């Protein structure tokens, strides 16, 4: 088992610590099996204990070519950003239920594209929702109408996600929407709800499918975007994640949500090369599946080793 922990030095550089746990080489296979079972049981039994010990959790759920992120505050409040496409609703719902989630305190549909909101109707029908945010961008697709109908039959009012709207997730995590900042064309991506969350000394930036135009507007507004972890916009597309913006965010870690060898070629080669040049650690659902990060307010660690900077091209 390997756990990767990182924290920023005073120089702003990332300190990366790897801890490896290996079984003794002299054990017989039978004894190894027994020890492995004991260790596994100990790890599983400690998970719920650790979860109740003041940790913030950020789960990037593998929904293929789409987005879905579960955030859990140290005091047990939950936030879900997107729920993948229409086929991913049950995947996301089951992921949440396995982690004991019955209420979603903040639900966000970043923009009307199906690969982000397709599963939201299933989520709305499956959980108690306290607050539901979406940008004020309508769409004519059945997927979008399904989400609105689910909200209506569950008596759920849609709040507007827009720049300047503050929110709190529990008593210790505070958040703010940084986009949308104005009225845009019919390009759904430009309407993406961008959210930045802070917990003690650590910060997280979730970009939806926001494009370079949005990044420049956020920079121009003088928003505080310095963040330890960024979920890259538009699945790592070169139409997002401009060098100017990434340098301003100055993340230790970048996360990409995409399907392996997808037809769009996400994440794009230019984005991967930028991350490598900036020595930003990369985690990606196309290589690693669902990924969980944990934060105690001083450091962040992941449940998996970092991904690669490999470019896979366009698939089918």
Q: pLDDT tens across 301-311, in order?
A: 999 999 999 99
**Residue 11: which pLDDT band, with cuts at 50, 70 and 90?**
very low
Hey, which residues does 176 pair with through a beta bridge? 166, 196
State yes or no: pLDDT of 2 exceeds 50.
no
Going from N- to C-terminal start, the domains of the chain cover 55-302
Rounded CA Rg of the chain: 19
CATH class of 55-302: alpha beta
State yes or no: pLDDT of 313 exceeds 70.
yes
Q: Return the structure tokens found at 217.
A: 């507007």
State residue 260's pLDDT score.
96
């Amino acid at each position: 088992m390997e756990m990767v922990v990182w924290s920023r030095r005073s120089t702003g550089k990332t300190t990366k610590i790897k801890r490896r746990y290996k079984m003794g080489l002299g054990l017989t296979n039978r004894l190894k099996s027994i020890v492995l079972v004991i260790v596994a049981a100990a790890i599983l039994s400690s998970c719920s204990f650790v979860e109740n010990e003041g940790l913030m959790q950020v789960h990037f759920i593998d929904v293929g070519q789409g987005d879905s992120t579960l955030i859990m505050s140290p005091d047990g409040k939950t936030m879900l950003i997107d729920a993948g496409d229409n086929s991913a609703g049950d995947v996301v719902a089951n992921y949440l239920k396995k982690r004991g989630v019955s209420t979603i305190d903040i639900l966000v549909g970043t923009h009307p594209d199906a690969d982000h909101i397709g599963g939201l109707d299933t989520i709305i029908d499956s959980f108690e929702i306290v607050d539901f945010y979406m940008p004020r961008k309508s769409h004519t697709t059945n997927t979008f109408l399904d989400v609105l109908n689910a909200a209506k039959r569950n008596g759920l009012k849609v709040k507007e996600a827009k720049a300047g709207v503050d929110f709190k997730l529990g008593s210790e995590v505070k958040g703010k929407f940084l986009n949308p900042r104005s009225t845009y064309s019919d390009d759904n991506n430009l309407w993406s709800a961008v959210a930045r969350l802070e917990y003690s000394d650590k910060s997280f930036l979730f970009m939806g499918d926001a494009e370079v135009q949005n990044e420049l507007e956020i920079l121009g507004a003088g928003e505080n975007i310095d963040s330890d972890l960024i979920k890259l916009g538009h699945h790592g597309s070169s139409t997002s994640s401009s060098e100017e913006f990434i340098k301003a965010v100055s993340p230790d870690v970048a996360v990409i949500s995409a399907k392996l060898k997808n037809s769009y070629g996400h994440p794009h080669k230019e984005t991967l090369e930028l991350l490598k040049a900036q020595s930003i650690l990369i985690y990606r659902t196309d290589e690693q599946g669902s990924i969980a990060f944990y934060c105690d307010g001083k450091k962040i660690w992941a449940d998996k080793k970092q991904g690669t900077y490999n470019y896979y091209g366009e698939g089918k």
